[in-house]
Amino acid sequence: MMAKKVKTNIALARERLLPTIFNSQIEKIVFNFIDPRMKEHVLLNGKLGGSPVFCIVHWNAPEYVLLNVSQIELLYPNSKIYVLDNGSRQANINAVVEGLKRFSNVTLFAASLRYPNWETRTGVDHLIYNHTKGLQFLLNYAAEQKDEITVFLDQDCLLFNHIEDLFSKLGKNVILIGAKDGDTRGYDDLVHASFMILQPGRVNQLFGKFSFFCEHTKLPEPYHGLSLKAKGKILFLEIKPHGEKPVTSYSNQDTIYAWHAWFSAISCRGMSMSRLQARRKIAFEFMKQIHEETIAKTNYGSAHA
């Protein structure tokens, strides 16, 4: 009886969303992936409300996610945080669940509990595509929650400063704020998904519930569809590699807002395991140092308030 009820609820969820589905194969795949299956796998429920909202897609890097959430908590203690695990190994999922239990403002989703370790069977192209589907799910979820402003961060993209002055730049002529992908890979008019700021309700109203995707055969990555749709109304942040560490800063008008360690990108390259581990260690130690400095500044400010 219970199984029949679940099926009925799923069928109703599909019927409610069918009018928003276009006839393209991409959107059918996204629809089948993000709704309603992900919503069946809510591992942790956030208990607090607030603004802004932060969205993180996690893949096999629990230490980065926990550091990232801790940093957000320091800078924005009243925010909401949505984390989607995108098919990690079970041990990494368990580590994320356990580590996030101490936060009251995190909602954690699992995208593919039924199909663990899919990345070992599908390759890099599917990894990138599934990441975009995860972004789309979180965007749609934030829109459903009526969250006004959403900040997307890669699991290894750590906030360095408060970002309210960037929020104020959203408006009639700015739909999307993010780091230009072209400075590192030659995609001059495309935003890299590691750090994006947008208004989910507005984006869905303009571009529908599959806003990250676009029927464009030459897109470097699926999520670049949003950049094409928002073309001419994008505020690009400056991207600058660190002179000594394997990390990159994102800034605007000489203010650094975040550092990115490129964990996933490095993982997808043909790099020896020893070199990969060395680069990861250097980058993670740099990020830990940023977090420790933020703790020190926060404690100093509290002591002198």
- pLDDT tens track for 201-247: 999 999 998 899 887 767 788 889 999 999 999 999 998 988 788 78
Write the pLDDT tens digit of every residue in 154-207. 999 999 999 999 999 999 999 999 988 765 455 678 999 999 999 999 999 999
- CATH entry, 23-264+272-303, from 3.30.70, 3.90.550, 1.10.10, 2.40.160: 3.90.550
| b/e map 45-68, b = 16+ CB within 10 Å | ebeeeeebbbbbbbbbbbbbbbbb
Residue 58 DSSP SS3: strand
Residue 126, H or E segment:
helix 124-144
CA gap 250, 178 in Å, rounded: 8
Among the listed residues 45, 133, 42, 58, the one whose alpha carbon sits nearest the alpha carbon of residue 96: 58
Q: Which two tokens stand for residue 169?
A: 């730049």
Residues 116 and 19 sit within 8 Å (Cβ to Cβ): no
pLDDT (0 to 100) of residue 220: 80
Residues 80 and 48 sit within 8 Å (Cβ to Cβ): yes
> Is 60 exceeded by the pLDDT of residue 102?
yes
Spell out the domain ranges in the chain: 23-264+272-303
